[in-house]
Structure formats: structure tokens, C-alpha cells
Chains A and B, each alone.
Chain A
């Protein structure tokens, strides 16, 4: 392989990847966004500066999400963490044409029926926040510390199974928030998210 070829290959490879810019990196500032919640209120991430924020990519009908809520484990965790002062934002990026899309009224009914204990539910049916955070699956979790730095992204726990008992699994979000509250660095900062694909519109 000559130097010329090496140069050429290098160049082509670099071009191929120059486009692969990833905005969401743990240890870096979490990209700010403004979304609309199911009551029509504008919600801005940076307004929660000073608080720990948990972001959950959500789809009511996805069996992996459903497992967390059906068992009541997610609501319990939402309550525990918000009691400790954390903010929990549900981001629903299901597009409006999908059967799993919830109108604000349906979402409010689901919130009440499931006894959801999150801080808010953002209607992201245009996928803006989902794409900004490169959300791949439901559930795909993010934890932002008080300074607005992303400290965790990935799966909710270590059991990629729609039928497991979430309380028996190792919950990465819980661990991250508790470590932050204890003033410790977050041990697990990035895991592979599992679940259903986020149903973005095309």
C-alpha cells in the first residue's frame, strides 16, 4: 500500500464519517430543548437547571415500557426520585399516524389511569427531542445533573425482557441519581438501550 493510497483511503473514510456528529455525549452538556407538554405548556430543559432531570423515551404500547408500568415499578421509582428533588420528563415521540400515538386528552387519561408519578409528559410527536437525543428505543433513559451535564444514557435496567420483574433488576437510572445525590461520580454512564424502536414519523 503506497502512501498515496493510504492518503486516499484516509480521506474517503474521513469524509464518510465527517457527517457522523453525535450531539449527545455523556460528560458533555445535555442539548437544551423546548417541548410542549400534554397541557399545552412549553417546557424547557434549561429551566430545570439546579435539579437532576431524568428523561424517559416513552411509548404506552411498547411491551418493554408496559412491563415497567404494568408492574408499578416505574411509578414507584418516579415517586422516590421526585421526593428526592429530581425532575422526571416523559418524552413521547410516537408520530401522530401511529396507532400508539396519544392525543393530549388520551395521554391525560393514561396518566391518571396508570397513576404516573413523573413531573411531566412531553408530546414530541414531531420527533424533535427524540432525534436531538438520538433516542433509539422505548424506554431509552437519560440522566442530566444539576449543572445540565448528561451523566447517563441507555437502558433503564440490565434485563432486556418484556416480562421480567423490574424491581429485581439492576436499575441504572436509580443508581445514577442516587450516586449524584451522594456526591459521587456516576459509575455506569452509558449502556445499550433495549426495547421497541421509537416510532418516528417519516
Chain B
């Protein structure tokens, strides 16, 4: 029988994690080595002291700002239903594409976040005062591509209008949507950010708390941005837009 006991075994014994087969040997060792037995007892006591000293923390109410950090907001339920309407296929596609997301973040993140924070805050003139079809025709002409406004009603966001913007080196477009409580979401069209290899949806944080989901294809870069929505709420909107624009 092997009576040699390692330090690791003593540690496991302290934690009640020594294998049943070795317990007898360890106890025999401790009986023969009082200084080790003392250490084991002291270590066990340490554990009890620490658990006791910090036990009360478990009963403290969780500060609301910590729950906020998880962004679990009540408006979610409606959006979850909308997500259901999108279908499993789209969500599976997303789960896959999240892992293929481009990195590092594309410059479209910064551009779209700035555009969002400047114009979404505007009460009087967030967008051009023109009819939807007229605005889209005008933006399509200026961007040399077919600019469309995906339908986000199912998620609770109505189309508000659009405007033309300067991008980094070419024209860009910003479409704005609004929810019932005034939350605003923007869809940024940046043809200059297009790339050959199509990316999946990627998440990034922009200026001043703006959250951005974006993707790039061989025609254009698209970014869904909002400072009012949680990441999860924004994801549902982004999925909806992605599904319609990538048809």
C-alpha cells in the first residue's frame, strides 16, 4: 500500500475532493504527520471563515444598474414575438454569421454611429420632409444604387424618412424609423464600404452609447444603429432588415 501522500492530495482532502480510494491513505498519513494534520485543519478553517465573512453578500439586493448592464428590458416581449415571425432559418443563419463577423470593426460603425447620434436627437428635422417613394428615388439616384426602406413594422418601428449624408469619400444615406415610445433606429447605407466577400451581421459599439449591427456585401455597407434600444432589441431589427435587403 502506498502511504506517500502528495501536497495536491492534501489540498483535495481539505476540499473533500480526495478520491475514495485514497482517503484511507491520506488519513493514515495525517495521523503520522501531525504538522500536516494541523495545516489541513487550519485550511479547512480558512475556508469556513471566508465563506462566513462573505455569505451576507448573497442576500443583498442586486443593484438595478447591474441588471441594466445585462440589458434585459421589458420591451423585449414584443420583439421576441417578432423574432419568432422571422423563422428559425434566419436565426440559425445569424448564429452562424455571428462567428464569421468581420474584424476589426469596419469604419462604417463610426460613421453610422455619428450619423445616428446627430440626427436621431433632432426633433424638428430628423429627416427630409418628402414622401417615402420620393425620398427613396432621390437617394437611389445619388448613391447610384437601389436604396430601399425595409419594413420594420413587425418589430414596432415605423418609417420616418431619410436624408443624404457625406460619407468618408462618397455619398451615404440615412433612413430613420421610430417606435411608439419615440425610440429611434437608423439604417445607414454606405456604398463606399462595400466589399467582395459578404460578411455576416456583426455587433459593435459606437459613439455615445450607440449600438450598431452592420454587414457588408459587394454592393454596399449597411448599419442599423440605435442609442435607445438594447443590443437584443436591436438585433431583432437588424435581422429583419438583413433578411429583406439580402433577398
* Binding partners A and B: no
User: Chain A: residues with CB nearer than 8 A to chain B?
Assistant: none
